[in-house]
Chains A and B, each alone.
Chain A
Amino acid sequence: MMRKSSIIRTSSEAGTSVTYIKTLVKTRTPTELDQFKKEISIDDHIISLKKLQERYNTDLQDGLSRVKAGELLRLYGPNCLISSATKSRWLVLAEFLFGGFAALLWVGAALSTIGYLVSYYQDPRTPLDQLYLAGVLVAVILITGIFGYYQEAANTSIMESFKKLVPKFATVIREGNMLTIPAEELVIGDVVEIQGGDCVPADIRIIKSRSLKVDNSSITGESEMQPRSPECTDTNPLETQNLAFYSTNVIEGAGTGVVIATGDNTLIGHIAGLTSGIEPEEMPIKKELKYFIKLITALAIFIGATFFVISIALGYDFFESFIFLIAIIVANVPEGLLVTLTACLTLTARRMSKKNCLVKNLQAIETLGSTSVICSDKTGTLTQNRMTVSHMFYNDTIVDVLDESDKVNRNAEFKNLCRVGILCNRAEFKPEQEKIPILQREVKGDASESAVLKCMEILIGDVMTQRNQMTKICEIPFNSTNKYQVSIHHLQNENKHLLVMKGAPERIIDRCTTYALNGSDVNISSEKKKALQQAVSKLGYMGERVLGFADLMLSKDKFPVGFKFNTDKVNFPLEGLRFVGLMSMIDPPRPNVPNAVEKCRSAGIRVIMVTGDHPITAVAIAKKVGILSSESETIYDVAMKKSISVSKVTAEDKARCSARVITGADLREMSQSKLDSILMTFWEIVFARTSPQQKLKIVESLQRLGYIVAVTGDGVNDSPALKKADIGVAMGISGSDVSKEAADMILLDDNFATIVTGIEEGRLIFDNLKKSIFYVLTSNVPEIIPFILFVTINIPQALSVLAILLVDVGTDLWPAISLAYEKPEADIMSRMPRDPQQDKLVNTRLMSLAYCQIGFIQTCAGYVTWFFVMAQHGFFYDRLIGIRKEWDDPFTNDLADSYGQEWTYEERKILERKGYAAYFLAIVVTQICDAFIVKTRRLSVVQQGMSNWVLNTGILFVIFVAGVILYSPGVNQAMQFERVEWYTFVPSLPFGLFIIIYDEYRRYFVRNYPNGWFARETYY
């Protein structure tokens, strides 16, 4: 189904003047999305070129004909990425303005307006209070809604970031002519030319290559250059060398290819369509808010309805009762809560960004706190993304040079090995880095050569000078067929030539006849060879990349100074060399990651490694960082112990393994339910050699099992999984723009440990939000009760609507928000993740404690203060009860008080305003006391301390604001207050103290009797 499209007329040189329809947005069905989820399975790279030519009806020399290309373009549409129809910006904005909590506030605003209109209809002099209320509610909705929208607006531009990846133009051969046409007009079967600096304009099969190298990082995120040639090197389309994908970059060389897929059907098209089509999981906090809204609405309607019946029974007419009903419901709406929530989350987000954790979506913070599984990438996230030499093998010993470099035995064999390491190496430090630690210096050269260079710089030092002393005469660079690299150097001291070789260890050993051992060169017997090979595999099983090193001193006679070495027609020996040793390297874990993984473990969060890397490397790193615990065993451990290959591990042994390593191939054959059951049975799992589609599969499976899943990813191909996850985590440094768009959170330092910091913050904010909500809800009670008493026992209003607003969106705000800064009460990372079914943000215990206990005490405080002030002016409580009708009648101009004085209407109203002020003051005082008790849910405030200076300042601020409101002339009149005597707060003090003492006792019981009544019924 098309939603949006535009008609394009071509005007390019290809000039067939084709008209075609360009779809801009498309609504994709779930089946289509499922198609996208599958891995591409094609055989275009396997079949012969001839067959290919037939299949696509093209000519590999001259390309398609213009007419044919025009037809195909009309038929299949343009070669471009099409967004899945997602919610429009307006819909998103509408959701922020009308969804969830905002809806509740809208209902409140509508009801108050209706209430006002009904009252107005009955009496045009009705005060505007109800309208103020509606106005404030609308303001709250608009401010928080638009704020939230801007927070999220950036997320909708994901398709834009995809579109930035694709090229605008392509060089194509049609009818034997080379043309440049818009990339959009490419069709299947087109023959295209690509060269260094280009961007591949569609999925193509390479038919000609001149040392063509591409960078697939736009799809895989791994930025290593990959050669491309016409040979099919792998049946997996992602691995084979003869396919190049749409949007990847050509680094060097040039080549020709046939287009085998365009637009949506390309690999990136799949990913883009899938990513933009995936509906992310609903944030847990949204669910929490929904539950809370249900709770508070039910409560409001219950109280309202009860009250409606009561007022009808008391003899009020329907209209009056209806107005009461509305007023009660509206009074139950916590106006300030949405602001508080948003502010708390924003503050936490700011705090987190200081810790390198950039949160794009505020609500994601809380999600992070409920996370129960982290699916983490390996490279760059768990590791440093920097190949480092970790072991050297010489003189029959394996030496750890990474952690124990000071214990290295610097014997002659060591020096031999290092000499080869220094010389047979093309890597160089970039200039002007003397002050940077060696490991962090930038190097020109590939990853393993850089590793060796750095290792040598650390162990020997001053590599460049030594290289200069032993000038390189010639070299044969590494290539994939030889798998070695050779260079010949002139040793000035001895005036001889030295040949040095480095490469795949098996190949190197094969070329050696002697071995430097204990100061002399021994012949390599077949046993010795076996021993050397075992050393190689031992290092291999540690997950390390092993390089072999050999050298050969060339005789002065055969190769005198000035000898012309020829590398094309080799005129020097490449066999019969001396084996000097091995070096093995690994991308080591980041230093703080094992600690972070341990933290996750104690916090009940599973950490699952999902990597595209080799399983052995994956297992090695997983062990190092603790994802696989030291006592757990995988089939790779078994294989290593028994020195057999993995495929030979018996089923019996497999069953005994406590941890699982699952490869992409395993996963491909696994059913959904099988994957689910494995994820359920095994706690420690490593996924290796996985494709991005499989990552999505793993995420979906975990979500089915009820986990809240955090996923890290950096490549474009990770973006579907990032979007699907409850919380997608992109990498700030290595991550692609697309992945950052798809994610909810960005790790600015790419460090796994930062996620754990984030989780800690998320858990803390969940606890603290409870406190904020408790605080905000408590004052609702003293705000509602005056209205109820007004109607039931007919006493004058003790609190105005305006005063209620002043508390809800005034004095309550700062303290409520500052609770976000409250420090944790215990080690929050030592408990299990919260169970979203059981542990709700707002539960009935919280409501009943806030409403029935603390709120009730506050109401008493309010009324005692109010009655006191009224009595001071002549109205004792017995006079006040039942007085309402006369009190509020503007034409009763002589209402007698308890002393017989007669009050005019205006005078009474002034007194009423003084009453408001007194009651307001009592709420402020008791809310300050409330702030002391909500600081902790469990601990005593003495244990917690008063170090939350934001809260402390907030309390002072509240006192200041209350002072300004009550005492500054003009302001108090505008707020419908009358100045009260300074000591008016005194009657509320005992209640405030009572609140503090009462709750200290309650928490004492909660702490000391975790299964007692208090803990069960009041611990929120």
Chain B
Amino acid sequence: MLTIFYQTLDDKKPKWQLDRSLIGSNPGLGFRPMPPESNVESTLVWYRASDAANTFYWRDQLDQFLKPYLKQRSPEGPFIECEPGISPETGSNKVCDVKVDEWYPCVHGHGFNFNSSEGGPCIFLKLNKIFGWLPEYYNSSSVPDIMPIHLKDHIKTIEDKHGANSNKLKVVWVSCEGENPADIENIGSIIYRPTFGFDGQYFPFINTDEYLSPLIAVYFEKPARGVLINIECKAWASNIFHDRLERRGSVHFELMIDY
């Protein structure tokens, strides 16, 4: 009986998409590595930097997560290098490559910086895949007031350099900040790899085989140690609304590094 009704559905395309689907058109933001399940429903990334065994869990989590990204590339494969902001032709079965091995220090070889005696870890951010979703990008005139200044400046700079219609502006910008004044103080400087956002060429997701979600590695250069830091990261596009309670468009986690 069920099979009969399943006949009405497509294998590749969901019956309901975007706003007609319950998933909507406001993607959620996710982070990796996630705390272990035993640590019930928590978002705390807590480790002892000096203890390699202690950080193994986190590194291993990232290794597992990044595995699909590190597959052997072959020329016949679907992966292509994409120009910023330009997605592969529809129906081409090609997907834009995500080169996670080039984001030092956020690489396996460097332990994603979890064991650094001075610096903080790399936390990877990803935007939830929604079939057919396209971001509506900001330009310097449309950026909202609440956007962090460094992003506004960055957008302005690119606009000045490449013009207002540049594909380089086709980015879902990302920012991470401490939630409270103390957190802002403790968080230290942050470096985003490879750029300040998810590049436009990765959108839309149309369930192409081997599609890789764009990632951003957020490298905390020198966070305070021995204290808990509340961090909130946000994705910026004019069709992304932030709702901390429903965890849409933003993600919250805590970081705590012991000596």
Known: A891-B41, A900-B207, A904-B28. A876 touches B251 (CB 8 A): no
Nearest CB in chain A: distance from B198 CB, A: 13
A262 to B173, CA, bound (A): 103
Residues on B with beta carbons closer than 8 Å to the beta carbon of A877: 2
Instruction: Find out whether the CB atom of A872 lies under 8 angstroms from the CB atom of B15.
Output: yes
With both beta carbons as reference points, the residue of chain B lying nearest to A912 in the complex is identified as B22
B202 at the interface (CB under 8 A from A): no
Known: A864-B5, A987-B1. A891 touches B43 (CB 8 A): yes
Instruction: Find out whether the CB atom of A902 lies under 8 angstroms from the CB atom of B128.
Output: yes
Residues on A with beta carbons closer than 8 Å to the beta carbon of B24: 907
Residues on A with beta carbons closer than 8 Å to the beta carbon of B211: 900
A253 at the interface (CB under 8 A from B): no
Residues on B with beta carbons closer than 8 Å to the beta carbon of A900: 129, 131, 205, 207, 211
Known: A864-B5, A893-B30. A873 touches B129 (CB 8 A): no
Residues on B with beta carbons closer than 8 Å to the beta carbon of A224: none
A896 to B128, CA, bound (A): 9
Residues on B with beta carbons closer than 8 Å to the beta carbon of A890: 41
9-residue interface stretch from B6-14, B55-63, B72-80, B156-164: B6-14
Known: A900-B207, A902-B128. A873 touches B30 (CB 8 A): no
Instruction: Find out whether the CB atom of A894 lies under 8 angstroms from the CB atom of B5.
Output: no
Instruction: Find out whether the CB atom of A904 lies under 8 angstroms from the CB atom of B5.
Output: no
With both beta carbons as reference points, the residue of chain B lying nearest to A863 in the complex is identified as B2
A606 at the interface (CB under 8 A from B): no
A750 to B139, CA, bound (A): 94
A873, A907, A911, A990: most-surrounded residue (chain B CB, <10 A) = A907
Q: A844-873 CB contact bits vs B (8 Å, 1 = yes)?
A: 000000000000000010001001100111
Residues on B with beta carbons closer than 8 Å to the beta carbon of A889: 41
A98 at the interface (CB under 8 A from B): no
Q: A281-323 CB contact bits vs B (8 Å, 1 = yes)?
A: 0000000000000000000000000000000000000000000
Residues on B with beta carbons closer than 8 Å to the beta carbon of A896: 129
Known: A864-B1, A890-B41, A902-B130. A876 touches B6 (CB 8 A): yes
Within 8 A of B (CB), among A896-916: 896-897, 899-907, 910-911, 914
A978 at the interface (CB under 8 A from B): yes
Instruction: Find out whether the CB atom of B41 lies under 8 angstroms from the CB atom of A906.
Output: no
A874 at the interface (CB under 8 A from B): yes
B29 at the interface (CB under 8 A from A): yes
Instruction: Find out whether the CB atom of A904 lies under 8 angstroms from the CB atom of B42.
Output: no
A889 to B42, CA, bound (A): 10
Instruction: Find out whether the CB atom of A911 lies under 8 angstroms from the CB atom of B22.
Output: yes
B259 at the interface (CB under 8 A from A): no
Nearest CB in chain A: distance from B36 CB, A: 12
A28 to B30, CA, bound (A): 78
A901 to B132, CA, bound (A): 10
Instruction: Find out whether the CB atom of A905 lies under 8 angstroms from the CB atom of B41.
Output: no
A495 to B22, CA, bound (A): 114
A873 to B131, CA, bound (A): 11
B126 at the interface (CB under 8 A from A): yes
Instruction: Find out whether the CB atom of B246 lies under 8 angstroms from the CB atom of A868.
Output: no
Residues on B with beta carbons closer than 8 Å to the beta carbon of A868: 2, 5-6
B248 at the interface (CB under 8 A from A): yes
Instruction: Find out whether the CB atom of A899 lies under 8 angstroms from the CB atom of B247.
Output: no
Q: Pick the contact of A894 from B12, B28, B207, B246 — CB < 8 Å?
A: B28
B21 at the interface (CB under 8 A from A): yes
Residues on A with beta carbons closer than 8 Å to the beta carbon of B129: 896, 900-902
Residues on B with beta carbons closer than 8 Å to the beta carbon of A911: 22-23
A873 to B40, CA, bound (A): 28
Q: A976-987 CB contact bits vs B (8 Å, 1 = yes)?
A: 001000000001
A911 to B24, CA, bound (A): 11
B15, B23, B30: most-surrounded residue (chain A CB, <10 A) = B23
Residues on A with beta carbons closer than 8 Å to the beta carbon of B251: 893
Instruction: Find out whether the CB atom of B5 lies under 8 angstroms from the CB atom of A914.
Output: no
Known: A874-B23, A899-B207. A907 touches B9 (CB 8 A): no
B34 at the interface (CB under 8 A from A): yes
Nearest CB in chain B: distance from A990 CB, A: 7
Instruction: Find out whether the CB atom of B248 lies under 8 angstroms from the CB atom of A906.
Output: yes
A906 to B27, CA, bound (A): 11
Nearest CB in chain A: distance from B109 CB, A: 26
Instruction: Find out whether the CB atom of B28 lies under 8 angstroms from the CB atom of A893.
Output: yes
With both beta carbons as reference points, the residue of chain B lying nearest to A895 in the complex is identified as B128
Q: B225-242 CB contact bits vs A (8 Å, 1 = yes)?
A: 000000000000000000
Instruction: Find out whether the CB atom of A901 lies under 8 angstroms from the CB atom of B130.
Output: yes
Instruction: Find out whether the CB atom of A891 lies under 8 angstroms from the CB atom of B5.
Output: no
With both beta carbons as reference points, the residue of chain A lying nearest to B24 in the complex is identified as A907
Q: A882-895 CB contact bits vs B (8 Å, 1 = yes)?
A: 00010001111110
Residues on A with beta carbons closer than 8 Å to the beta carbon of B30: 893-894, 902
Residues on A with beta carbons closer than 8 Å to the beta carbon of B37: 885
Known: A864-B1, A987-B5. A899 touches B12 (CB 8 A): yes
Within 8 A of A (CB), among B135-190: none
With both beta carbons as reference points, the residue of chain A lying nearest to B6 in the complex is identified as A871
Q: Pick the contact of A904 from B13, B34, B247 — CB < 8 Å?
A: B247
A874 to B205, CA, bound (A): 14
Instruction: Find out whether the CB atom of A907 lies under 8 angstroms from the CB atom of B207.
Output: no
Nearest CB in chain A: distance from B38 CB, A: 12
Residues on B with beta carbons closer than 8 Å to the beta carbon of A903: 23, 28, 128
Nearest CB in chain B: distance from A442 CB, A: 75
A906 to B250, CA, bound (A): 13
Q: Pick the contact of B28 from A902, A978, A987, A991 — CB < 8 Å?
A: A902
Instruction: Find out whether the CB atom of B128 lies under 8 angstroms from the CB atom of A893.
Output: yes
With both beta carbons as reference points, the residue of chain A lying nearest to B35 in the complex is identified as A891
Instruction: Find out whether the CB atom of A864 lies under 8 angstroms from the CB atom of B247.
Output: no
Residues on A with beta carbons closer than 8 Å to the beta carbon of B29: 893
Instruction: Find out whether the CB atom of B2 lies under 8 angstroms from the CB atom of A901.
Output: no
Within 8 A of B (CB), among A13-64: none
A902 to B251, CA, bound (A): 14
With both beta carbons as reference points, the residue of chain B lying nearest to A913 in the complex is identified as B22
With both beta carbons as reference points, the residue of chain A lying nearest to B251 in the complex is identified as A893
A903 to B128, CA, bound (A): 7
Residues on B with beta carbons closer than 8 Å to the beta carbon of A864: 1-2, 5
Instruction: Find out whether the CB atom of B5 lies under 8 angstroms from the CB atom of A899.
Output: no
Instruction: Find out whether the CB atom of A899 lies under 8 angstroms from the CB atom of B131.
Output: yes
Residues on B with beta carbons closer than 8 Å to the beta carbon of A876: 6
A867 to B2, CA, bound (A): 8
Nearest CB in chain A: distance from B2 CB, A: 5
A839 to B28, CA, bound (A): 61
Nearest CB in chain B: distance from A392 CB, A: 83
Within 8 A of A (CB), among B104-142: 126, 128-131
A864 to B5, CA, bound (A): 9
Residues on A with beta carbons closer than 8 Å to the beta carbon of B1: 860, 864, 987, 990-991
Nearest CB in chain A: distance from B208 CB, A: 9
Instruction: Find out whether the CB atom of A907 lies under 8 angstroms from the CB atom of B205.
Output: no
Residues on A with beta carbons closer than 8 Å to the beta carbon of B126: 894
Known: A868-B2, A901-B129, A902-B129. A910 touches B22 (CB 8 A): yes
Instruction: Find out whether the CB atom of A899 lies under 8 angstroms from the CB atom of B248.
Output: no
A458 to B12, CA, bound (A): 98
Residues on B with beta carbons closer than 8 Å to the beta carbon of A867: 2
Within 8 A of B (CB), among A972-1010: 978, 987, 990-991
Instruction: Find out whether the CB atom of B34 lies under 8 angstroms from the CB atom of A891.
Output: yes
Within 8 A of A (CB), among B195-219: 205, 207, 211
Residues on A with beta carbons closer than 8 Å to the beta carbon of B15: 871-873
Nearest CB in chain A: distance from B207 CB, A: 5
With both beta carbons as reference points, the residue of chain A lying nearest to B130 in the complex is identified as A901
With A902-B130, A905-B247, A906-B246 already in contact, 10 other A-B pairs whose C-beta atoms are closer than 8 Å: A864-B5, A873-B16, A885-B37, A894-B28, A900-B131, A900-B205, A901-B23, A904-B28, A904-B247, A911-B23
- What are the 8 tightest A-B residue pairs by CB atom distance, in nearest-first order? A904-B28, A902-B128, A894-B30, A906-B246, A872-B15, A868-B5, A874-B14, A902-B129
Offer 13 A-B interface pairs, CB within 8 angstroms, sorted by A: A864-B5, A871-B5, A872-B16, A874-B21, A891-B41, A891-B43, A894-B30, A894-B126, A899-B13, A900-B131, A902-B30, A906-B247, A907-B22
